[in-house]
Structure 1
Amino acid sequence: MAVAVTDVLSDLLQPSLRIVLCGTAAGTTSAAERAYYAHRQNKFWTILHETRLTPERLQPQQYRDLLQHGIGLTDLVKVAAGMDRATLPKLTAAERSRLSGVMTTFRPRFLAFTSKTAGQKFFDGKRDYGEQRDLIGDTRVWILPSTSGAANGSWQPEVWHQFANEVRAAG
């Protein structure tokens, strides 16, 4: 008998989004709290407010409020939780296809991977931070530095600011 596998965190998606932010997989704290970017050391909610992508600093349990700001959330891996290196040894074609399908269905203006690992795993190769040459349909794709406290050594908020400026410039 097959066991039904459920998503650790449900996607937060709807039509007419400006942005979909995509992580690698829910972290263990996020899985336990049932809220995206829930670890207290994660800079996600602070940088969204600092870049003016949200008018106030939201708390992880308010993640559904992002829809009011035209922002959706998803992860590459929906059925596992943990650190990138433990969760994502190799991304499957089905996981890539699922995300591409989400983008072509919802057609946000931007997809932004919230870590270099997520972007490189999706594209199956080395990539730098910033806007990528690849589109998914009409969706522009960015790779942003991870907001995880575990990635403090590679934190570059200026890339998040560049992204936010491009989002605003696109209207």
Structure 2
Amino acid sequence: MQRPTKAELAAAHGTVIDDLIAPDLRVLFCGINPGLWSAATGFHFARPGNRFWPALHLSGFTPRLFAASEQKLLLGLGLGITNVVARATARADELTPLEFVAGGRRLREFVTQWRPEFLAVVGMGAYRTAFGSPKAVVGPQPETIGETRLWVLPNPSGLNAHYQLPQLAEEFGKLREAAGVPKAGD
């Protein structure tokens, strides 16, 4: 995957990328919103330094470290990706609370349609605002959407200094175990 140019990154502002979705997913991961790098390349969690792909691998969801450009391989593992807010921005703080609330409504409809076993939102603040759960913490949530269980994971952005990669992988691993996904390679 080639590094996007400054012009390509600027042009990506406000665009959307396709959800990675299929019927009968075990886990639908849900980012906050696409960053400009992701929007410019068309791949989720594509910015170098984002720890989503390493955490996914180290937690046992994937048999090896996937590049963002290999995201379609997740579907064969029963995994998908969407976002709370669809529009790309340079930073998540460019989004408004109303966008998060609207994103929560959209997610409820989306999850009702696709019915994954788990919806895992990667970002506690995004989850709290989108789902009106100001006291939510990392881990399983009491709320469900139909039969879909909700889970909050730490934000894998390199800017999230509260969680280093080993702790991220541990939290992803708790979800993998709860979802009954065998550890890749076992």
TM score, norm. by length of structure 1: 0.88
User: What is the CA-CA distance between 1:32 and the residue it aligns to?
Assistant: 1.7
**Higher mean C-alpha deviation, range 81-90 or range 64-73:** 81-90
Are residue 50 (structure 1) and residue 58 (structure 2) matched? yes
Cross-structure match for 1:126:
135
State how 1:42-121 maps to structure 2 within 5 Å: 42-91=50-99, 93-121=101-129
Q: Which sections of structure 2, spanning at least 5 residues, go unmatched?
A: 1-13
Counterparts of 1:164 and 1:55 in 2: how far apart (Å)? 13
Counterparts of 2:81 and 2:96 in 1: how far apart (Å)? 18
Q: Which sections of structure 1, spanning at least 5 residues, go unmatched?
A: 1-5
User: What is the CA-CA distance between 1:33 and the residue it aligns to?
Assistant: 1.8
Q: Which runs of 4+ in 1 moved over 4 A?
A: none
Cross-structure match for 1:3:
none
Counterparts of 1:94 and 1:84 in 2: how far apart (Å)? 15
Counterparts of 1:53 and 1:92 in 2: how far apart (Å)? 27
**Higher mean C-alpha deviation, range 38-47 or range 117-126:** 117-126
Deviations 1:5-27 (A, max 9, x none): x8511111111111100011001
Decide whether aligned partners of structure 1 residues 64 and 169 sit closer, same or farther in structure 2, where only a CA change above 3 A counts. closer
Cross-structure match for 1:166:
178
Counterparts of 1:39 and 1:152 in 2: how far apart (Å)? 16
Count of residue pairs the alignment pairs up = 165
The residue identity in structure 1 corresponding to 2:143 is D
Say if 1:23 and 1:114, in contact at 8 Å, map to a contact too.
yes
CA RMSD of aligned residues (A): 1.9
Are residue 142 (structure 1) and residue 151 (structure 2) matched? yes
